[in-house]
Amino acid sequence: MRAHVLGSAAGGGLPQWNCACDNCALARAGDPRVAPRTQDSIAVTADDARKWLLVNASPDVRVQVARFEPLWPRAARGTPIAAIALTNGDLDHVLGLLSLRESQPIVVLATESVRAGLVERNAMLRTLARTSDQVTWRRLELGREVALDEVGVGVTAVPAPGKLPVHLVGLTEPSPEDNVALRVRDLASGRTIVVATAIGSLEGIERIVGGADGLLFDGTFWSEDELVSRGLGRARARDMAHVPVGGDAGSLARLAGVAARRRVYTHVNNTNPMLVDGSPERLQVEGAGWEVAFDGLEVAP
C-alpha cells in the first residue's frame, strides 16, 4: 500500500494569501529551507492498484491532480480517483469537491453528520447533483469498515476529538461523527495507514493510532499559543481542536511509544516552526524518528 501526500499544509496553505508570518515570508521569498505547501490531502492506493482513494478534497485539488501523474485521466473523460473520504466538514477538506464536478461521477465516503452539514445547507453543492448518478455518498459508520475493492483498501472511520466546522457552529448539534480519523487497510496485506489530521485531545489516542504501520498525524501547531504570541489571532490550538506537537503534553512526547514504521506530521499550519529545515523544532521531530510531510512525500510502510 502506498500513500502519496498531495498537500501537507493546514487550511490556508503555505504561504497563506494574507499572512506575512516568518514562514510565509520565507516561502514567498523562495528560501530553500521552507518549501511551499498546498492544503491537506492524501492519495492512497493498494500496491499495483490503478485506482486511488483521496483523503479529503482540498481547495488545491486541481493543481494537486495536475502534478501527480497517477491521478490523470486515462480516457477522453474519466478519473483514476475511485472515491474521496472526508475526515470532517472543514472547508479546507471539502471545498475541492466543488472543483471535481464537470459531470464526473464520484463516490464520497463521509459520516452522516459530515454529509448532512454539506449538502443539506448549501445550494452550491447541488452542482454535484446535476444527474442522479453523479455523486454516490457512501456512509462511514463509526468503527465499520467500508471496502473499496477497486482501490484495494478498506476505510474505517474512528471518532476523533474535534469540533464542528466553524460555519456550522450554532446551526447543528455537535456529534462524534463531526471529526474522524481514517484507518485505511490494504485488503490483501492487512497493512494499515492511519490518517488523523485533526486531533483535539490525546485521550484514548491508542484506539486511533494502535496497530498502524504508517501514521499521518496532526502537525497543525507546534505550541498552544502559536497564533496568539505572533499577534495573528486569538484562538489557541485547543480552541481549534488541534493538539500541539511540542511541549510535555504535546503529541511528540505523548506518542513516543507508537510503533508505526513511518510516523509523519502533516496538515502543518504555515506558522509552525518545524516547517523550517534545520530549525530546533524540526531537529527535535526528526530526532524522535518522525518526519514532517511535504507535498509529494510517499508513505509505503
* Residue placing its CB nearer to Zn ion in the complex, 2 or 267: 267
How far apart, in whole angstroms, are the C-alpha atoms of residue 42 and residue 84?
A: 10
Q: Spell out a b/e string for 66-82, using b for 16 or more CB atoms within 10 Å of the CB, else e.
A: eebebbeeeeeeebbbb
* Residue placing its CB nearer to Zn ion in the complex, 104 or 279: 279
Site for Zn ion in 204-233 (CB under 5 A): none
Tell the smallest beta-carbon distance from residue 48 to Zn ion (Å). Answer: 31
How far apart, in whole angstroms, are the C-alpha atoms of residue 248 and residue 85?
A: 33
Asked if 92 and 40 touch (Cβ cutoff 8 Å), the reply is yes
Of the listed pieces 23-31, 74-82, 124-132, 258-266, which binds Zn ion according to CB under 5 A? 23-31
* Residue placing its CB nearer to Zn ion in the complex, 25 or 259: 25
Helix residue ranges, H only, 67-223: 91-94, 112-119, 206-209
Helix (H, G, I), strand (E, B) or coil at 248: coil
Tell the smallest beta-carbon distance from residue 42 to Zn ion (Å). Answer: 12
Q: Which among 55, 50, 38 is positioned nearest to 3, based on CA atoms? A: 55
191: cell is 497493512
- Contact between 27 and Zn ion by CB under 5 A: the answer reads no
* Residue placing its CB nearer to Zn ion in the complex, 1 or 237: 237
Site for Zn ion in 263-282 (CB under 5 A): 270
Distances (CA, A) of 242 to 60, 196, 202: 22, 11, 10
Query: Exactly one of 3, 5, 19, 258 binds Zn ion (CB under 5 A); which one?
Result: 19
Size of the site for Zn ion (CB under 5 A): 8
- Contact between 92 and Zn ion by CB under 5 A: the answer reads yes
Angle 241-244-248 from CA coordinates, rounded to 5°: 130
- Contact between 24 and Zn ion by CB under 5 A: the answer reads yes
* Residue placing its CB nearer to Zn ion in the complex, 24 or 237: 24
Tell the smallest beta-carbon distance from residue 72 to Zn ion (Å). Answer: 26
Tell the smallest beta-carbon distance from residue 102 to Zn ion (Å). Answer: 25
Give me the residue label for grid cell 501523474: 69
Query: Exactly one of 21, 155, 168, 199 binds Zn ion (CB under 5 A); which one?
Result: 21
Residues lying near Zn ion in the complex (CB under 5 A) are found at 11, 16, 19, 21, 24, 90, 92, 270
